[in-house]
């Protein structure tokens, strides 16, 4: 990223997705947040200064249809997409986190993640309720199939895990999420411009990032000589 911008966390005009930041912030999944996500995401795709699109997630979840659309944008992007969970990535939030480019999916050490089946309710005539249940079942299969693919697992693996939890909310720590394949690193990167070459146990320092950039440009940093 060619320049650094300061995010106004807590400012009255703070929205679910902030378009002017160097990252895209997601904490809701609905029609409004999807529209904001689309605008911010496509803008960053067109911005040559953004080599990696960064999506930061802190969410309890939301509408599955909005999640699916955001995931489609990420998967169809010509640019790598880094995802970072801060604090919480539950339901749709966990699925969006897993959808990032492999090698660029992060969660802070104390982040709590949660996976569960699609939930909802239907009212009306019996035929309408049956139809709604069928649609929900198909949507649930698609959601779990996408999650399994993003984790490098089979659909059966995910179903067995949920079954072992008796189909209740499946809560994971960041470390457990990494073991599952939902994320790649338990860390908070401060500057993402490329694929990590090794496991990140601690956030990279600016000195380390400077060395990485010099190496990328084929240059070496001159060592100070002692007099």
| Active site residues per annotation | 91, 116
Sole residue written with tokens 């339901």: 91
The dihedrals phi and psi of 110, each to the nearest 5 degrees, come to -100, 15
The dihedrals phi and psi of 216, each to the nearest 5 degrees, come to -60, -35
Cβ atoms of 55 and 81 within 8 Å: the answer is yes
Distances 14 to 10, 38, 146 between C-alpha atoms, Å: 6, 17, 31
Distances 176 to 101, 171, 185, 189 between C-alpha atoms, Å: 19, 9, 11, 19
């Amino acid at each position: 990223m060619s320049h650094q911008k300061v995010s106004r966390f807590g400012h009255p005009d703070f929205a679910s997705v902030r378009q002017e930041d160097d990252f895209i912030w997601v904490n809701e999944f609905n029609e409004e947040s999807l529209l904001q996500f689309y605008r911010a995401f496509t803008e960053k795709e067109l911005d040559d200064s953004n080599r990696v699109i960064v999506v930061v997630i802190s969410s309890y979840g939301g509408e599955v249809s909005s999640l699916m659309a955001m995931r489609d944008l990420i998967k169809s992007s010509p640019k790598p997409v880094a995802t970072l969970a801060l604090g919480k990535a539950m339901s749709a939030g966990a699925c969006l986190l897993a959808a990032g480019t492999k090698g660029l999916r992060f969660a802070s050490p104390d982040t709590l993640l949660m996976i569960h089946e699609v939930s909802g309710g239907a009212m009306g005539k019996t035929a309408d309720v049956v139809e709604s249940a069928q649609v929900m079942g198909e949507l649930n299969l698609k959601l779990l199939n996408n999650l399994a693919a993003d984790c490098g697992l089979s659909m059966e693996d995910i179903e067995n895990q949920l079954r072992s939890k008796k189909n209740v909310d499946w809560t994971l720590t960041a470390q457990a999420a990494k073991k599952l394949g939902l994320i790649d690193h338990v860390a908070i990167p401060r500057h993402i411009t490329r694929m990590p070459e090794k496991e990140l146990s601690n956030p990279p320092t600016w000195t380390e990032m400077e060395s990485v950039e010099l190496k990328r440009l084929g240059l070496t940093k001159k060592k100070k000589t002692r007099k």
